Amino acid sequence: MPNIQEHVNTLLTQFVPSYRFLRLQELTIDKNHSLQTEINSSSIKILNWNIAKQNYNKNWLKDFLSIIDSYQPNLIFLQEFSLKLEANQLDTLLKMNWNFAPNFVDIHHQTYSGIFTAATISPLTKKVLTTAHHEPIVKTPKISLVTEYLLSDKQTTLLTINSHLINFVDLNKFQIQLNELELVLSTHRGPLIFTGDFNTWSRKRAVILNQLTTQLGLTPVIFAPHEKQKIKRFLFSPPLDHIFYRNLTLKKASAKVLDKICSSDHKPLMAEFTYINTQKN
């Protein structure tokens, strides 16, 4: 007898035509607005949020602009971001530099879907990591976007990785994606932020992620207990969304879960860091 997950996958496959979703080669769609050339090392504010493809929803837009106005993040990491093929509204709404890495095109709705990273400056480098394995039903990969930025001390770069980890597959495929990310995380010696929706809905997945981040010397952003409970999870599972960092100092009062935001089924996560270059003479 097939298990419940296999049964659901079989049923859904009957209703989702295989030709609807087109997988893409590695690429990014980029826009440059800001003339700034560096991020202030003493105040690195970030927003991480799986927006569940709601960015053309008026309620989401109101929430997003309110967050930008209230917190003024230097870096924005969004997962499940949609971009319509014929036009986009970002140019008039978000005066930041942004990089969008789609993992597929939905032909029916004429939209890209993927990972979105915005910053007050342009990245020095960017790289897309696409999983070798695909999720069932729509048969599309998951994606991570690696970007590198200059900090105001002029001698250091900040590496960021915005990730959405693979779902509905066995633990081995989940581990393989993390191993690919490990190669990037382990080679950067400067400050680093690793964030996104890690789909750690089981204890085993959470343990694998914890082992990797601990081995790499990454520290998780710890939220107050009453706020941590608001982070997206399935029933009594571990949280799905995380922020990890290395060679940075977290301003503890800045770690917030914006639990009053309801335009996505995930809550936005906020944090602010400082960087002090201990290598200066």
Kindly report the three-state secondary structure assignment for every residue of the chain: CCCHHHHHHHHHHCCCCCCCEEECCCCCEEECCCCCCCECCCCEEEEEEECCCCCCCHHHHHHHHHHHHHHCCCEEEEEEEEEECCCCCHHHHCCCEEEEEEEEEECCCCEEEEEEEEECCCCCEEEEEECCCCCCCCCCCCEEEEEEEEECCCCCEEEEEEEECCCCCCHHHHHHHHHHHHHHHHHCCCCEEEEEECCCCCHHHHHHHHHHHHHCCCEECCCCHHHHCCCCCCCCCCCCEEEEEECCEECHHHCEECCCCCCCCCCCEEEEEECCCCCCC
- Number of domains composing the chain: 1
Does some domain include residue 37?
Answer: yes
Does some domain include residue 148?
Answer: yes
Q: How far apart are CA 120 and CA 34, in angstroms?
A: 6
Q: How far apart are CA 104 and CA 196, in angstroms?
A: 18
Neighbours of 234 (CB within 10 A): 10
CATH number, domain containing residue 240: 3.60.10.10
Lookup result for tokens 């930025």: 149
Residue 11 reports pLDDT greater than 70: no
Lookup result for tokens 């990969």: 141
Does some domain include residue 3?
Answer: no
**Tally of residues, the chain:** 281
Domain interval for residue 131: 17-274
Does some domain include residue 230?
Answer: yes
Does some domain include residue 243?
Answer: yes
Q: What is the mean pLDDT of residues 193-222?
A: 97
Q: How far apart are CA 237 and CA 239, in angstroms?
A: 6
Does some domain include residue 6?
Answer: no
Lookup result for tokens 């992620």: 209
For residue 32, what are the β-bridge partners? none
Lowest mean pLDDT among 8-22, 40-54, 210-224: 8-22
pLDDT at 154 (0 to 100): 76
- Contacts of residue 217, defined as CB under 8 A and 6 or more positions apart, other chains included, come to 246
Does some domain include residue 62?
Answer: yes
pTM: 0.89
Residue 1 reports pLDDT greater than 50: no
Does some domain include residue 8?
Answer: no
Q: How confident is the model at residue 17 (pLDDT cuts 50, 70, 90)?
A: very low
CA-wise closest residue to 226 among 183, 268, 256: 256
Q: How confident is the model at residue 257 (pLDDT cuts 50, 70, 90)?
A: very high
Lowest mean pLDDT among 24-38, 81-95, 199-213, 255-269: 81-95
CA-wise closest residue to 103 among 212, 4, 172, 24: 24
